[in-house]
Amino acid sequence: MSTAEIRARFLAHFEAAGHSVVPSASLLLDDPNLLFVNAGMVPFKPYFLGQETPPYDRATSVQKCIRTPDIEEVGKTTRHGTFFEMCGNFSFGDYFKEGAIELAWDLVTKPVADGGWGFAEDKLYPSILDGDDEALHLWKKVTGLPDDRIARLGPKENYWSMGVPGPGGPCSEILIDRGPAYGADGDFSAEDRYLEFWNLVFMQDELSAVRSKEDFDIAGSLPKKNIDTGMGLERVAFLLQGKENMYEIDVMFPVIEKAQELTGRRYGADHGDDVRFRVVADHVRSSMMLIADGVTPGNEARGYVLRRLLRRAVRSMRLLGYEDPCLPELLPVSRDKMGETYTDLHADWDRIARVAFAEEEVFRKTLQAGTQIFDLAATEVKEQQRTVLPGDKAFALHDTYGFPIDLTLEMASEAGLTVDEDGFRQLMAEQRERAKADARAKKGQHADTSVYRGILDANGPTEWLAYETLETESRPLALLKEGAAVSSLANGEIGELVLDRTPFYAESGGQVADAGIIEFDGGRLEVLDVQRPVRGLVVHQVRVVDGELVSTGSATGGAVLHAQVDPEWRTGARQAHSGTHVVHAALREVLGPSALQSGSYNRPGYLRLDFGWLSSLTPEQLHQIELVSNNALRADLPVSWDYMTLSEAKDWGALALFGETYDDQKVRVVEIGGPWSRELCGGTHVDHSSQIGTVVVTGESSVGSGNRRIEALTGVEGFAYLARERDVVAQLSTLLKAQPDDIVGRVSDLVDRLKQSEKEIEKVRLGQLLAAAGDLAAGAADVGGVRVVAHRVDGAGGGDVRTLCLDVRARLVADRPGVVVIIGVQDGKISVVAAVNAAANERGISANALVRAVAPYIDGRGGGKDDVAQGGGSDATRVDEALAAVTAAVAESAG
């Protein structure tokens, strides 16, 4: 049974049982605790935490997931994979244990002809949390299995929590017996023998403290009991396809087959090669899916994970003997298989391929540079007559230069060296522990939204009128300070105010919150920020600027407040947000459809837009983007919006931002000029494009590998920027006594004349320097029969010092030993060059040794060959001592 068929049967089974089919969310969610979605329940987490009200009682999904802690274990075992798909069914206060068990068992054991998976019941073993007698009874009731066919496991295996206070509960797993070849009878700790492929979580407990997976306090029962299940699609696929592991299933093994073709190696012939083939299959697919969801390679967070995956895939192919670019060969194979389900891979292929192939090219250059750095490190080790490359050197190659440890080991062996792997592993472990500590610290970023949830449950959602009006008469629902309810806010204090209705836009979608005031009888509040801590509730951060605000504690009691958005602020915000859409459309028109927005920020009069692109834009491209944008403004394109389902919006061609989450029940689509710009967006906008006023592109820059940023001004701010540039041009016209159109030519002439003058000055200075060479050669001291010039030159840099030193040596009599050491001091930096003629070399005098003799006096270092060497330093206070050291060193060598 194909993987696509397994997925389809899963969704059809639960849809027939009344579940809403929810499309997979992006791998990127706005969650401070997660780099990526790592489980099927993550998009539903706000419902389980009580932060939001679910729009359905029961749901099912096949969710894209990425897990990164065990990247280095991928391929070594058959259980570790980076990208995977998690099939799940979820109940929010609807059915519970019995329903979950019935639905799972039915699908797993139902004959293939009837739409099931057809697993043999005599191979299946349910497991329960030891002591969960209710689950034991229900499994026996639903399946008819005897006690000895139901495994009782401890909390390490069969209790679930998110690692923080909140919901938790016991689990039941469905295990399959793969036979005695994989382990002993009844040994449920032998994961290969009794393989778990579906986990049913019975979310019933409220946890007040979670110290570890097996150490927590249960404060009580949840008010609503929920079901969260997770079934690994790849695991079921290799079981149903009769394969040994996930790497051999129909959507992954074609990549291994292609890798075999390219390398001439054979999968299954050598364990080391098998690991590399699996790494290639996993990492190629994982990288592709990450790029498809908007990740670009970088040195931090998500970008760093993607970079590691791509580089490990390339490195593995190299270790398999293939040194040509491999991703152009392998990535299309994965696209063709995964694209059967994820059709966006085909539509967005140009961008995906460009990002991946460029990263491989960068890594190939990194390998070249890393090889040079390795050679230096290896030479240093050999000079010290050692045979082991230190762990910190290997770690630096890996961490700083992206040089894989496997390559370091391979090259060390070729150089007759070994590597301190224990030291390297220790440094890697310390780095991982720092990352884990950082992740643990971030766990505290789960904001306690219970107080907001209580306000929402008591009063219902805020009547949000930001699209309709700039002012409302509103009643206060709650007054908070530092997360707790307060009775009042005095003059000058800052707190949070919840109203029954509001005209203020809450920050979202890259648009900052509205500014304005809220007036009440006897006082006034300045609105500093507006947020939605839970869906449906709008919270205003306010400062009391006049009077004292007293809480009524009721939505019906107390005075009515007047909420007023600053109209100038809103006008500027609308111009900037609509301008962002216009620039995005212009960008795609100029660069092509693969130039997709990956993030944005806009405030009144200003916008910035991040987009996936691999190279800086030319001035001509920036000019063209600005021209297309302003032509759209001049065309006075109509701006409109409508609501529809997410699938309808995508069918209509609306663009959705990477990493954003959207409600499939209803999304807002904003159009500017019909299909020219059609995006999912909840921001405020102008009514016609001409109301944006102007778009002035002010800059373009890099924000990470494969990501660029355009910045622009709109409205009055854009005109003000142009006015400032006009003033600069006017001032230059006056200074240069030229018309504006002639300024560029006049400045160009001035620059040329300045360069010519600098060349003439350089000729004079060099002539003076060389003239001194004759005097220095004539004044050479005799040290044991060796002519020695040791001289200090102030104001001379490295190039001048070298030129002077070599010129002086050339003026010394060739058949007599001659030594020249020049030390230059310029802007606090010291340059030293030593030059020795052949006759001095025959006397055993080395330029390299002379530079090393000087180095301690100038706090420097250096080296080179026997005839010419150079170095640098930072301490100019002992230059005279350094020069004296030259004479002493020559005397010792000559003696």
Mean pLDDT for the stretch of residues 565-588: 95
Mean pLDDT for the stretch of residues 592-611: 89
pLDDT band at 443 (very low <50, low <70, confident <90, very high): very low
Pairing of strands 695-702, 677-680: unpaired
Walk across the sheet containing 781-783 and list its strands: 781-783, 786-794, 818-826, 829-836, 868-873, 861-864
Where is pLDDT greater, at 520 or 29?
520
| Contacts for 437 with CB less than 8 Å, ≥ 6 apart | none
Position 552 scores a pLDDT of 63
Return phi, psi of residue 868, to 5°: -140, 130
Position 631 scores a pLDDT of 96
Pairing of strands 388-389, 418-419: parallel
Query: Please, are residues 418 and 387 in contact by the beta-carbon 8 Å criterion?
Result: yes
Position 162 scores a pLDDT of 74
d(CA 354, CA 106): 45
d(CA 807, CA 591): 55
C-alpha distance from residue 398 to each of 231, 296, 311, 373, 468 (Å) = 36, 20, 11, 11, 56
d(CA 692, CA 572): 8
In 3D space, the residue among 19, 90, 26 whose CA is nearest the CA of residue 662 turns out to be 26
Query: Please, are residues 895 and 786 in contact by the beta-carbon 8 Å criterion?
Result: no
Instruction: Using the predicted structure, report yes or no on whether residue 517 has a pLDDT greater than 70.
Output: yes
Instruction: Using the predicted structure, report yes or no on whether residue 895 has a pLDDT greater than 70.
Output: no
- How many CB atoms are located within 10 Å of the residue 283 CB? 28
Where is pLDDT greater, at 744 or 450?
744
Report pLDDT digits (tens) over 242-298.
Answer: 998 899 999 999 999 999 999 999 999 998 899 999 999 999 999 999 999 888 887
In 3D space, the residue among 687, 677, 514 whose CA is nearest the CA of residue 609 turns out to be 677
d(CA 143, CA 151): 14
Position 137 scores a pLDDT of 94
Mean pLDDT for the stretch of residues 577-585: 96
SS3 793: strand
pLDDT band at 662 (very low <50, low <70, confident <90, very high): low
Position 31 scores a pLDDT of 67
Asked which of 53-62, 73-82, 492-501 is least confident by mean pLDDT, the reply is 73-82
Mean pLDDT of the residues in the chain: 88
Asked which of 306-315, 436-445, 515-524, 645-654 is least confident by mean pLDDT, the reply is 436-445
pLDDT band at 228 (very low <50, low <70, confident <90, very high): very high
Q: Degrees (nearest 5) of the Cα angle 40, 42, 45?
A: 130
**Structure-block tokens of residue 830:** 């010291």
**Structure-block tokens of residue 368:** 């070249």
**Structure-block tokens of residue 745:** 């030519």
d(CA 253, CA 671): 43
| Contacts for 426 with CB less than 8 Å, ≥ 6 apart | 391
The helices-and-strands tally (H runs, E runs) of the chain is 25, 36
Pairing of strands 83-92, 215-232: antiparallel
Position 427 scores a pLDDT of 87
**Structure-block tokens of residue 248:** 């051999």
d(CA 889, CA 895): 10
Position 203 scores a pLDDT of 93
d(CA 172, CA 203): 11
In 3D space, the residue among 309, 275, 271, 272 whose CA is nearest the CA of residue 290 turns out to be 309
pLDDT band at 538 (very low <50, low <70, confident <90, very high): very high
Pairing of strands 194-212, 166-177: antiparallel
d(CA 505, CA 514): 5
Q: Which residues are annotated as a binding site for Zn(2+)?
A: 577, 581, 681, 685
Residue 156, amino acid: K
Task: Tell me the residue ranges of DSSP E strands in 494-578.
Answer: 494-499, 501-502, 516-520, 523-531, 539-546, 549-550, 561-565
Report pLDDT digits (tens) over 340-396.
Answer: 999 999 988 988 998 899 889 888 887 777 777 888 888 888 888 899 999 888 888
SS3 48: helix
Give 200's strand partners: 172, 229
Q: How many CA atoms lie within 13 A of 486 on its CB side?
A: 17
Position 215 scores a pLDDT of 81
d(CA 732, CA 728): 6
Position 543 scores a pLDDT of 94
C-alpha distance from residue 457 to each of 10, 43, 58, 450, 797 (Å) = 34, 22, 21, 10, 74
The secondary structure of residue 548, as a DSSP letter, is -
Return phi, psi of residue 193, to 5°: -80, -55
Mean pLDDT for the stretch of residues 37-50: 86
Position 577 scores a pLDDT of 96
Give the rounded percent of residues in the chain with a pLDDT score beyond 90. Answer: 55
Instruction: Using the predicted structure, report yes or no on whether residue 438 has a pLDDT greater than 70.
Output: no
Position 63 scores a pLDDT of 95
Give the rounded percent of residues in the chain with a pLDDT score beyond 70. Answer: 94
d(CA 677, CA 796): 60
C-alpha distance from residue 572 to each of 83, 511, 541, 606, 766 (Å) = 43, 11, 21, 8, 59
Burial class (CB in 10 A: 0-12, 13-18, 19+), 1: middle
Mean pLDDT for the stretch of residues 51-65: 91
Q: Which residues are annotated as a binding site?
A: 577, 581, 681, 685
Pairing of strands 83-92, 58-66: antiparallel
Q: Which element (helix H / strand E) includes 809? A: helix 798-811
Asked which of 503-517, 614-628, 697-711, 873-887 is least confident by mean pLDDT, the reply is 697-711
C-alpha distance from residue 387 to each of 377, 380, 382, 397, 588 (Å) = 12, 10, 7, 18, 56
Asked which of 194-208, 578-592, 609-623, 760-774 is least confident by mean pLDDT, the reply is 760-774
- The label of the residue with tokens 């449950």 reads 457
Query: Please, are residues 865 and 831 in contact by the beta-carbon 8 Å criterion?
Result: no
Instruction: Using the predicted structure, report yes or no on whether residue 888 has a pLDDT greater than 80.
Output: yes
**Structure-block tokens of residue 786:** 């060796």
Assign residue 123 a region (left: φ > 0; alpha: ψ between -120 and 50; beta: otherwise).
Answer: alpha
Instruction: Using the predicted structure, report yes or no on whether residue 653 has a pLDDT greater than 90.
Output: no
SS3 762: helix
Position 437 scores a pLDDT of 58
Query: Please, are residues 542 and 526 in contact by the beta-carbon 8 Å criterion?
Result: yes
Query: Please, are residues 96 and 134 in contact by the beta-carbon 8 Å criterion?
Result: no
Query: Please, are residues 356 and 291 in contact by the beta-carbon 8 Å criterion?
Result: yes
Position 47 scores a pLDDT of 86
Pairing of strands 484-485, 476-481: antiparallel
pLDDT band at 553 (very low <50, low <70, confident <90, very high): low
Identify which of 15-24, 61-70, 477-486 has the greatest average pLDDT: 15-24
Position 574 scores a pLDDT of 96
> pTM higher than 0.85, yes or no?
no
Angle at which helix 743-778 crosses helix 715-736, to 10 degrees, equals: 60
Instruction: Pinpoint the alpha helices (H) of 182-296.
Output: 233-240, 253-263, 271-292
Report pLDDT digits (tens) over 826-882.
Answer: 888 899 999 999 999 988 899 999 999 999 999 888 888 889 999 999 888 899 999
Position 442 scores a pLDDT of 41
pLDDT band at 501 (very low <50, low <70, confident <90, very high): very high
- The label of the residue with tokens 């986990």 reads 199
d(CA 792, CA 769): 12
Mean pLDDT for the stretch of residues 408-417: 82
Position 440 scores a pLDDT of 46
Handedness of CA 543, 544, 548, 549 (dihedral sign): negative
Instruction: Using the predicted structure, report yes or no on whether residue 513 has a pLDDT greater than 90.
Output: yes
C-alpha distance from residue 458 to each of 147, 153, 535, 637, 840 (Å) = 47, 41, 14, 44, 95
d(CA 800, CA 641): 68
Instruction: Using the predicted structure, report yes or no on whether residue 495 has a pLDDT greater than 70.
Output: yes
d(CA 304, CA 151): 41
- How many CB atoms are located within 10 Å of the residue 729 CB? 13
Query: DSSP string spanning 76-137?
Result: TBSS--SEEEEEEEEEESS--HHHHHHHHHHHHHS-GGGTS----GGGEEEEEETT-HHHHH
**Structure-block tokens of residue 193:** 């023998």
Torsion of CA 644, 647, 652, 653, to 10 degrees: 120
Mean pLDDT for the stretch of residues 751-779: 84
pLDDT band at 446 (very low <50, low <70, confident <90, very high): very low
| Contacts for 870 with CB less than 8 Å, ≥ 6 apart | 798, 801, 802, 831, 832, 833, 834, 851, 862, 864
Position 664 scores a pLDDT of 53
Instruction: Using the predicted structure, report yes or no on whether residue 435 has a pLDDT greater than 70.
Output: no
Query: Please, are residues 172 and 102 in contact by the beta-carbon 8 Å criterion?
Result: no
Mean pLDDT for the stretch of residues 795-820: 87
